[in-house]
Each structure stands twice: as C-alpha cells, then as structure tokens.
Amino acid sequence: MKGIFITGTGTNVGKTHVATLIARELQQQGVQVIPRKPVESGCLTEGNELIPQDAMALKNAAGYSGSLAQVCPFRFEPPISPVRAAHLAHQALTTANVAQACTANINEDKDFLLVEGAGGFYSPLCEDGLNADLAQTLGLPVLLIAEDKLGSINDVLLTTEAIKSRQLNLLAVILNQTGTSDNNPLMNNQEDLNHLLDIPVFHIPFQKQHTQKILSHRLIDLILMNS
C-alpha cells in the first residue's frame, strides 16, 4: 500500500499543518490522496454533529470527494486523550478497528493513504494500543513532526528511537516553527539533528509560504520515492 503515517513528538506540534501541505502538494501532482485522521478528540459541535477540525482540513487539502465520516470515523468532544474520551462516550476503540477504518475502500493500485495520528507516537489511542501500535499495524513509512523549540532535540531522539524499535521506516524529521516557538537566533536544531541522525531533517518556518512550498516539494519527492 502506498502511503505515509504522520506522527509527532507530542500534541500541538503541527502534524495537521504538515499533513495538509503534503496532501495539497500530492493532489496538485495528480496523486489520488486518501486522507485519514481516524480518531479526533476536541471536536466542535454543530447542531447534532461533531466536526473534527483537523480531519476537515485534511479532507479539503486533499480534494477528497469521500465523506468526512470516512476521513474521521471516531470523533469525541472533550479535548483529552482519545481513549479516555472514548470511555466517557461509552465506546471501545481497538487498534484493529481503527486500522480497518484507515484502509477501508482503498485501491492499492492508485490510492495514496495519508494517515495522521492523534498526539505523540506513544500517546494512548485505543483500549489495546498506542499510536505506535496503529502505525505498526498499518506498516506505512513514517514522518515525525516536532515543534522547533528548545528541548526538541531530546524529544526527537527519543521518538526516533521508539519508531525504529517498531521496525518502521522513518523517512524524515520535520521541525515545525509555530507562533510560540523559540526564535533564539543562536539555536539551530536542524543543524544539530543533522549531525545526530542518518535521515533528512527539514525545517518549516512560521508563515513563510514560499519557503514552505519549496520544502513541501522536497518532502513530496522523498515520500514518493519511498512509498
């Protein structure tokens, strides 16, 4: 199966931002992207429906004609871990049924499956597993997203070790600069991580669309060569 699994060093590191850049660029190159954010908590309520904002952004970026329910079948209102939110909603999530929701109706000959996890790689996701277990079940190449800030080197190294321990193909690390990131000009996490890792390390600057476009092109080339 062609595709990618996008995970993070933690919550709010910019997984959806990076995922939408990738989905949009793939779609513009004629790739049929099947976006999946299978579990999302912290959904907004509109009428009688829970609206998953991250899943909606992925659907729009991919130009996906399927339903939002296919992109995100498991939705919860409280902004807490999915497994705890599921408990409160009297639902039991399993790694198997979440993985099945990701791969349902996939044409392996022409579809590109883009899956975004919930929280960090070791964040609890289901009754019987973490995001790591979902990634391992799907077996897709992995992209690791981290916020570009002081302390992220430790987070990245710990998570890359965890990903490799699951025998997964880690394609790259993406350092995402957010509005709250440390902008100390003396800090260069990308350069430091390039000395410590044997995989590409990308840096996405905050609100610099031209640079983001160039980087997304490079990411797409890497992803398509390895998926």
Give the integer Cα–Cα distance in Å for 226 and 18. 18
Reply yes or no on whether the pLDDT at 177 is more than 90.
no
Helical axes 152-165 vs 131-138, angle rounded to 10°: 50
Report, in angstroms and rounded to the nearest whole number, the Rg of the chain calculated over CA atoms. 17
CATH number, residue 31: 3.40.50.300
Q: Is the predicted pLDDT of residue 66 greater than 80, yes or no? A: yes
Q: How far apart, in Å, do the first and last CA atoms of the chain sit? A: 8
Distance CA 140, CA 34 (A): 14
Domain extent, residue 144, equals 3-226
DSSP string, 59-121: HHHHT--S-HHHH--EE-SSSS-HHHHHHHTT----HHHHHHHHHTT--TTTEEEEEEEEEET
Going by the DSSP 8-state scheme, the letter that residue 14 receives in this structure is S
Catalytic residues, by residue number, are: 37
**Facing residues of 203 across strands?**
175
Find how far residue 146's CA is from the centre of its chain: 11
Domains: count for the chain = 1
Identify the band that residue 108 occupies on the pLDDT scale cut at 50, 70 and 90: confident
Q: Which helix (H) or strand (E) holds 124?
A: strand 124-126
Q: What is the pLDDT of residues 19-60, one digit of tens each?
A: 999 999 999 999 999 999 999 999 999 988 999 999 999 999
Write down the pLDDT at residue 210. 56
| Paired tokens of 108 | 């392996």
* Stretch 123-147: mean pLDDT: 97
% of the chain beyond a pLDDT of 70? 94
Flag the least confident range among 58-62, 83-87, 115-119, 222-226. Answer: 222-226
pLDDT of residue 209 exceeding 70, the answer is no
Q: How confident is the model at residue 211 (pLDDT cuts 50, 70, 90)?
A: low
| pTM, to two decimals | 0.94
Give the pLDDT of residue 214. 60
